[in-house]
Amino acid sequence: MRIWEINQAILKSEVRNSQSEIPISLYSPPVTRVLITGIAGQDGSYLAERLLAGGDTVFGLVRPGGSIERISHLTGSIGLLEEDLLDEVSLVAALARVRPEEVYNLAGFSFVPGSFSAPVVNGELNGLCVARLLEAIRHVDPRIRFYQASSSEMFGSVPTSPQEESTPFQPRTPYGAAKLYAYWTTVAFRRSYGMFAVSGILYNHESPRRPPQFVTRKITLAAARIAAGLETELRLGDLDARRDWGFAGDHVRAMPLMLRRDQPRDFVIGTGESHSVRDFVEEAFAMLDLDWRRHVVSDPALARPGDVPSLVADSRRAREELGWEPEVDFRRLVRMMVEADVALVQESLKARV
């Protein structure tokens, strides 16, 4: 059965009502009706909070059986649907049920080093899933506005710094390559079908909600555990790698600003400041009165293949056209993460007693 035939069949029938779905009838008329894929992730949770605070009605797609810990405090205010992003029929069903005005695609395989060990899965989740979602939107309602979470990893080993919207893409990782496929697919649907489809090219953005395998959270959690006497050593890869690190809560503010303007356009979102992994380590350990040199080991075996030595954003377009500015600086970001992990470690210690 073709997708438009599937769509018509769904629209003519009553859409299933599973235990994971909150009936739409529970909601009052929205300011904007929004669907977020990856709502249970770092970015999805911050975006949901922001949109709810603005009065929007928010629905989210989650993986069947996936954790919703980051949004547990929101479950009484949002509608959740368990759907498979690899299944186009599932996507059509979700869109037909929710009838959103905006879709934010924040789902995907987000751990860059892991894209080397699972390149096919990475390609499916970060590349082909976007094509499926755009095609589903096109057939359900092409008026739906679409935001794609793109990445600075698409720039890769570019010779120019900082990078802006016209900087050539040269990805060096399977993650960056898959994101680039999704980026150009979004452009193609915008140009070919006249859809309001945009990409936010986001630079590294962190928070206490980052999973611990990411280097920033790995650092702050290790510092908290070392300060508590639970560990003595932290092993990292390249300490000289540099990134434009911002706060996830700042970066998600740009997303609705991009979708709620008159014309679709892509934007680079970042702080414009570059810091090394060593800078992050020094800042985090100093906040706990620790000498990082006594605890941190640079292990070449942990350096990822194809790593990009330095990326930094030129976000002038976002500042001028969206009025977007980052509010949390580097030091405040590190402190926020360190304090959260200290509290987490202390809580775990109390639970042992």
pLDDT digits (tens, 9 = 90+) for 313-343: 999 999 999 999 999 999 999 999 999 999 9
- What DSSP string runs through 102-170? EEEE--S---TTHHHHSHHHHHIIIIIHHHHHHHHHHHH-TTSEEEEEEEGGGTBS-SSSSB-TTSPPB
Per-residue pLDDT at 309 = 65
User: Please, what is the Cα angle at 281 between 209 and 268, to 5 degrees?
Assistant: 55
Beta bridge partners, 170, equal 156
The H or E element containing residue 202 is strand 197-202
Sole residue written with tokens 């070392």 = 226
Determine the Cα–Cα distance for residues 128 and 179; give it in Å rounded to an integer. Answer: 10
The residue type of 205 is H
Residue 233 annotated to the active site: no
Catalytic residue among 153, 206, 282, 283: 153
Give 103 or 302, the one with higher predicted confidence. Answer: 103
- Residue 5 — very low, low, confident or very high, per pLDDT cuts 50/70/90? very low
pLDDT tens by residue, 111-152 = 555 555 567 778 888 999 999 999 999 999 999 999 999 999
For 188-194, what is the mean pLDDT?
A: 98
Residue 321 backbone phi and psi in degrees, to 5 = -95, -30
Q: What is the dihedral of CA 24, 63, 252, 172, to 10 degrees?
A: -150
Which of 80 and 308 is assigned the larger pLDDT?
Answer: 80
Q: What is the pTM of this model?
A: 0.88
**pLDDT above 60 for 22:** no
Cβ-Cβ contacts under 8 Å for 164 (sequence gap 6 or more): 268, 313, 314, 315, 316, 317
**CATH fold label, 3-206+245-269:** Rossmann fold (3.40.50)
Catalytic residue among 46, 104, 147, 175: 175
Please give the single-letter amino acid code of residue 50.
Answer: R
How far, in Å, CA of 41 to CA of 314, rounded?
26
Candidate ranges 12-26, 72-86, 148-162, 280-294; pick with highest mean pLDDT: 280-294
**Which pLDDT belongs to residue 308?**
65
Whether 27 has a pLDDT exceeding 80, the answer reads: no
The residue length of the chain stands at 353
Query: For residue range 63-107, what is the model confidence (pLDDT) as tens digits?
Result: 888 889 999 999 999 999 998 888 889 899 999 999 999 999 999
- The domain spans of the chain are 3-206+245-269
Mean pLDDT of the chain: 88
Active site residue 315: no
Residue 88 · residue 136 · CB < 8 Å: yes
Please say whether the beta carbons of 299 and 273 come within 8 A: no
Active-site annotation holder among 110, 115, 151, 207: 151
φ/ψ of 158, rounded to 5, equals -75, 145
* 151 a catalytic residue: yes
Please tell me whether residue 320 adopts helix, strand or coil conformation.
helix
Tens digit of each residue's pLDDT (9 = 90 or more) over 212-233: 999 999 999 999 999 999 999 9
Alpha-carbon distance of 15 to 24, in angstroms, equals 11
